[in-house]
Structure 1
Amino acid sequence: MTVPDTDERATTTDEPSARRAQTGADAAWPELMRLVFGGMASRLVGYCVRLGLPDAIGDDERTPQELALRYDARADTMFRVLRALAALRVLTETTPGRFALAPMGALLRGDRPGTLRPLARMLTDPAMTTAWDGLAHSVRTGEPAFDGIFGTDFFSYVGGRPDLSELYNAAMSQVTHSVAAAVAERTDLAGVRTVVDVGGGDGTLLAAVLAANPGVRGVLYDSASGSAEAAGNLRRAGVGDRCRIEVGDFFERVPADADLYLLKSVIHGWGDGRATGILRHCAEAVAPGGRIVMIDHVLPDVVGPAANALAYLTDVGMLVNGQGLERTRGDLERLCGKAGLSLEDVTPLPPTDFHWIESRPA
């Protein structure tokens, strides 16, 4: 038998693996390009929403000439924007030169229930995108880049910009709308007399819980600015007579003697020190036999093929913008332990990516 020389053996042995590597690279190339160009796509969607294109198109079809006239722009450059949005599946080019909203574009209309318009505008605001320029600083130091760039912390900055504050509150309300029904369905309020929604914002979550449980009373606990829209929303939901609004600071205290404390998207907004303090206040205030429930994302221990990339991007976004982070179940167990709580249940809340995270005093 003739033995191939060294070069021949290497070539023969490596050919299948080389082909596999090339095939993998070919398959990965388009996906990587989508990530690399993702910043451009985000900026384009942000421009589309700030301009008001989804509302201008509505249920109709529009030409570049019509939209250029409306926005005092050039028809040829408007066409380039519209076809790029169509390539991103935000719009559809129904016939040459005529554009309608695709399903994604319809989600950006301001007049539609469940609109993502405020969230899209907020996340593409220059203040939100500029903070990412300091990612290297945040990774190196663990400090939010936002503070150094803008000279103040994120929430103080938002509070000083009424336009961004309005977008932030509307975006958080919409996210809460998406999970409120699942929380109301999941919540077992047998034996519960009073629910406190800590950081309850505009009352969306508490309204859903009280509407599903006619015998229960509620307390919405938030800052004056955070709860400004709550009274009207609770009244319109028909639960205003069973709920009171209490203004306060959850870093200092929470209302006492309730049977259930709900904290939706509160704990993930803060580092372990401040998050532990909030939970400790709840542990000290809860009535005997009561529960403290967080509604948040829970990261798996290992990033698998089906991982929700948005949760991880949110995590890094909180690194550059503030003090918060997304946590695994193990992280939450340790956090609860520091606050004098025992983590008892972590259950997904489909169809959302949120989890029901239940604890009791240890």
Structure 2
Amino acid sequence: MKRNLSIAIAMFLSSALHAQTHDFHKHLTVVDGHNDVIYESLLKGRNIGERMSVGHTDLPRLKEGGVDVQVFAVWSDDKKYGKGKAFKHANAQIDALEKAVRDHAKAIAIAKSSTEIEEILRSGKIAAIIGIEGGNMIENSLENLEALYRRGARYLTMTWNYNLPWATAAAMEVKTAGSKGKGLNELGRSVIRKMNELGMMVDLSHAGEKTFYDVLAVTSKPVLVSHSNAYALMPHYRNLKDEQLEALKKNGGVVGVNFYSGFLDPDFETRVKRLYRQYYGNKGDYRLSASRQYEKLPLRLKRQADAPLSILLDHIDYLVKKIGVAHVAVGSDFDGIESSPQGLEDVSKFPVLTDALLKRGYAEDDVAKIMGLNFLRILKENEH
């Protein structure tokens, strides 16, 4: 009898705490600093106004997840969309986003400033911000940079995974030893100065280390690292080393934690390969990369392969201890990644992260900063 009573009390308390967390999350301003749904769904003709069984993102799930401000990444593969094509492709993606917004004007609106974000949120809509993921899309032209800003782009990621004539990428530093040390040239420095003048955030995710430090030497505004993690916990070139984190703090910038299991968990690839071998045995293609093997696993094994949620929290803990809670945000990379932490399977699951942070002992004010206010702070600081 006593045992049953104890169980009933525990269930009641758990339910009450869940309700409190849900209410708290609902009153947060939740900002996701990076999402690739334009490329993954809008360019494929999918209707994000309806709940989809594919991808990570649509308007019903954004609403369910309590996402107030979503950055929509505009991305073009450097190799497929080179000079003469990249700027046009960027504009085509903005066209696709604008059409989706027109089609669902009661649910979402594009914001071009902090003031517009506040107005949109007061109306009960989701605020959409445009981020350009890759400097290749300006095609070495400050005029193109300004044109994208006028269309609503509020950050530019310096590079993707390839070098540009004016900036070097982290991926190429790893693949090509000759890329190390190049950083920004004079055109690159002009790009940074123009962005500062416009009020456009500089995003240093994907940037090579020399590019990272060269930008910090030029910029007069705090920078964003929209979707990266802590190198000390996961030594991947997409993550920030301690020295970079310290420099980011001095600049006043913000790093948004990336949800990709492969950027969070050192054991992710090993786990994927083990599960793939268990499932396919002698019929498996072991020449495939771990990410391709992951894609071929059934859903139940994918969920086993995904990083534990605790590892994402470990990265947040590390970043907060290293540079302070004022410099940490969220940049999920949903629809640009194949694997996210267990419990964070799509944009509807953001309340899970809020709950996990509270259970880790974060104060409500600090959770509010991580989940959105820090991103909004540097957006506003870049505007002035």
* TM exceeding 0.5: no
- TM (normalized to structure 1)? 0.30
Bigger CA radius of gyration: 1
Higher relative contact order (CA 8 A, sep 6+): 2
